[in-house]
Structure 1
Amino acid sequence: MIDAFTRHPKAVGETYGEHLAAAASYALPLLGAGLACMIHAIFPFAFERTASDCVHRVHQRMAARGRVPSA
Structure 2
Amino acid sequence: MNIFTDHPRSVGETYSEHFVAATSFGFPMIMAGAACVLHGVFPFLFEKTGSNLVRRLYDRMVINRQTMTHVNSKGQQIDWCI
Q: Does the TM-score normalized on the shorter chain lie above 0.5? A: yes
Please tell me whether Structure 1 or Structure 2 has the larger radius of gyration of its CA atoms: 2
CA distance in 2, matches of 1:51, 1:58: 11
Kindly report which structure 2 residues correspond to 1:5-44, keeping only aligned pairs within 5 A, or say none: 5-44=4-43
- The C-alpha deviation readout for 1:2-52, integer Å capped at 9, x for no partner, is 611111000000000000000000011111100100100100111111011
The runs of 5 or more residues in structure 2 that have no matched partner are 70-78
Percent same amino acid among aligned pairs?
46
Using structure 1 for the length normalisation, give the TM-score: 0.86
RMSD of aligned Cα (Å): 1.5
TM-score w.r.t. structure 2 length? 0.75
Tell me which of the two structures has the higher relative contact order, counting C-alpha pairs closer than 8 angstroms and 6 or more residues apart.
2
Query: How many angstroms does 1:55 deviate by?
Result: 1.0
**Residue aligning to 2:54:** 55
Richer in helix (by share): 1
Structure 1 alignment gaps of length 5 or more: none
Count of matched residue positions in the alignment of Structure 1 and Structure 2: 67
